[in-house]
Amino acid sequence: MIEDNNNLILFISGVPSAGKTTISYELLREIDYFRIVQETDILREILRGYNTYLSEEVSEILSDLTEPAPHTELLSYERAKIQCTIMKKSIIEIVKRQNRKCIPTIICGVHIIPEILYNNISGNNIKYVNLYFDCEKDLYSHLKIRSHDKYGEKSVSFLFEMNSKLQDNFSFMQSKNPNTFISINVGKLTIKETVTAIIDFLQQQQSIC
């Protein structure tokens, strides 16, 4: 069992259908001291603290973030990076607040791009997980389960390209910092197997510390 770590921050990234939210809540069932922060929470933080700046300087991207709601349109990797850059300051403030209050936290979402966040959000208590697919067929199988009407076959290549770019950059960072990053190919894993892989990783890091 994972020992209570009152300043653990776990970021979970991945394309739509990778299971970020599902895995987050299953982790919460196994490790009940976690709290979960999702994209809507980050958007509230942005609008609370930076409404004037965003409306004046990046109104077009603010519109991207709030209208339509997250996940109602497909994001390219480059666009997700831009949105993560805008959200970064608010994510940093959330991490600081959770650490100050000693609340172990999972932060997940399609806008969580580790290569944008890592330079400002790192340390022994910060861990990054990327859920990815190694083939389009597995991605499509997951998309059909999630929302067949919303994600058709035409979406698969677009999303798989984002998935691949995210994983390529994540793998490079993982090679440099194996104690901070773990990538999991979720294409043929069950939810339980994915959760077990994450818990095993966290337990290994505890033993190293």
**pLDDT mean values, one per 10 residues, the chain (209 residues):** 68 94 93 82 63 51 49 77 90 91 92 95 95 95 71 80 97 97 96 96 75
Quick one: three-class SS letters along the chain?
CCCCCCCCEEEEECCCCCCHHHHHHHHHHHCCCCEEECHHHHHHHHHHHHHHHHHHHCHHHHHHHHCCCCCCCCCCHHHHHHHHHHHHHHHHHHHHHHHHCCCCEEEECCCCCHHHHCCCCCCCCEEEEEEECCCHHHHHHHHHHHHCCCCCHHHHHHHHHHHHHHHHHHHHHHHHCCCCEEEEECCCCCHHHHHHHHHHHHHHHHHHC
Predicted pLDDT of residue 71: 47
- pTM to 2 decimal places: 0.84
- Positive or negative CA dihedral for 144, 149, 155, 159? negative
Percentage of the residues of the chain whose pLDDT score is greater than 90: 55
Is the CB of residue 191 less than 8 Å from the CB of residue 22?
Answer: yes
72: tokens are 């109602």
Predicted pLDDT of residue 180: 96
Question: How many CB atoms within 10 Å of residue 126?
Answer: 17
Predicted pLDDT of residue 19: 93
65: tokens are 């973030």
Predicted pLDDT of residue 33: 84
Predicted pLDDT of residue 145: 76
